[in-house]
Structure 1
């Protein structure tokens, strides 16, 4: 028995040859085990599971009886028999690797006007489910509604982002509105499904926009870096003005020389500490409410 593995959506060739490729068998058939007590069912391209998906590929060799199956599905997995009357038969076991979704779900936060990617992946990027849909939960009807990409609500705002990976089923939503918030489902039918909760908030205020990146900064090292930068700036200004001492604008040149260097930097650091403390606690109080 020959063992062959393939992925859903691909094509596969089940080999069957006469020892002499120029001979033509009197009659032969391809069959598949129907998994109900070793009963073999004849494969036909005219009906059933294999309609318009199978064809014989013999080229210019009458003795080549190989069978090509395209648009593979997980249901194509099984044992196949190439039966040549009065000449024998061969068995082929075909395994189709289908899509198994990664993760059970996640929560994503985004802001209005921006874009967000709702992730949905097969564990094997080469696999692709036979069929899948993106759904959104409708609270008014308590039902899951399919997201039609062509409707007014989503037109030109949503698209599937798979690149060159058939197993990437992710959905990109752009120009977000608060109405886009809610529960989403990536439903890959027999391959499973995952839930994603999307929360969409209004645009960041100035305080939030400043506080958000600053909260991640180490407070004391940030102040130290600020002092160093201020020293450099003041030193440059001081020497620049000193070099212009012979200019007509002497009053301006004398101004920075009169600045007490260390106290100026110290006051600036204290001022920055106060600003950062206010921003940090404002942001923290908002998160607690």
Structure 2
């Protein structure tokens, strides 16, 4: 639904008229979803007051003005609280539907046009594959082509099968899962810490009906530990094995010594018998 509104101001009778700045001209403005924008319209003498003025928004080939509804009263307001000659319009929390051509008409004092373009969030829908190790952290990238654009809504899901998708509740999983968009509203990337084998699979990022952005996450096995990081049980097993080896070597040496003694006595007995 396009934003349509009608704003009427009636100044005091007998006040001097307003000569509108940039009369008949068009101003081009680009903004992004979620931001605020000021549509400028003001008298050359900011202390002067037009008898009446209206703001209109074009609707295709026609221009329609309607009373400002409750749906938009929290987002749209005049910017003339300190200057009666400032007729500018402030629109907050922009949506793509707010884009279009606006006309500020001050009656016989003139009119001006503002062409507003509102850029929304569009995702790169190419599939990517990421590998990460068990216990580590991984960043699943998902961001709008316009990083300043804030989507109305977006979701992260885990794809279990062609018919089953599980919605990721960021608040419930906040100890391990968090968004990576603290400095850019268009960055919807997901950071997962302390990876488990269950974290592997396909993930889907969707924003305002754009996308989805699908990511295949593969969890590799645990990192091989160095000898210095062996557990106490492993160290104990190594010590037992060392003792067994030493005992076996000692027994072999003892057998060799006893064999030598018996052989020497045998040779002595043979020599005595010959004498």
After superposition, residues 20-31 of structure 1 pair within 5 angstroms as 20-31=45-56
RMSD, aligned α-carbons: 2.1
Q: Deviations over 1:77-108 (max 9, x none)?
A: 10111122343322110011222223512011
3-state DSSP of counterpart to 1:159: strand
Is residue 2:79 matched to residue 1:57? yes
TM-score between both structures, scaled by the size of structure 2? 0.67
Counterpart pick for 2:41 among 8, 12, 16:
16
Task: Pick closer, same or farther for the CA change 1:155–1:161 going to 2, 3 Å.
Answer: closer
Task: Pick closer, same or farther for the CA change 1:158–1:204 going to 2, 3 Å.
Answer: same
Contact 1:33–1:79 (CA<8 Å) still a contact in 2? yes
Greater relative contact order structure (CA < 8 Å, 6+ sep):
2
Q: Quote the residue 1:110 is aligned against.
A: 132
TM-score between both structures, scaled by the size of structure 1? 0.64
After superposition, residues 64-83 of structure 1 pair within 5 angstroms as 64-83=86-105
Take 1:107 and 1:43, find their aligned partners in 2: how far apart are those partners? 52
Q: Where does structure 1 lack aligned partners over 5 or more consecutive residues?
A: 208-289
Take 2:193 and 2:79, find their aligned partners in 1: how far apart are those partners? 46
After superposition, residues 255-274 of structure 1 pair within 5 angstroms as none
Q: Quote the residue 2:122 is aligned against.
A: 100
More helix by share: 1
Is residue 2:168 matched to residue 1:147? yes
Counterpart pick for 2:152 among 130, 133, 136:
130
Q: Where does structure 2 lack aligned partners over 5 or more consecutive residues?
A: 1-25, 227-275
Take 1:77 and 1:182, find their aligned partners in 2: how far apart are those partners? 39
Take 2:54 and 2:66, find their aligned partners in 1: how far apart are those partners? 7
Contact 1:30–1:42 (CA<8 Å) still a contact in 2? no
User: 1:160 deviation in Å?
Assistant: 0.4
Which has the larger Rg?
Answer: 2
Take 2:121 and 2:141, find their aligned partners in 1: how far apart are those partners? 15
Take 1:206 and 1:33, find their aligned partners in 2: how far apart are those partners? 68
Contact 1:57–1:64 (CA<8 Å) still a contact in 2? yes
Task: Pick closer, same or farther for the CA change 1:51–1:193 going to 2, 3 Å.
Answer: farther
Take 2:119 and 2:128, find their aligned partners in 1: how far apart are those partners? 26
How many residue pairs match? The answer is 201
After superposition, residues 203-218 of structure 1 pair within 5 angstroms as 203-205=222-224
Q: Quote the residue 2:70 is aligned against.
A: 47
Q: Quote the residue 2:238 is aligned against.
A: none
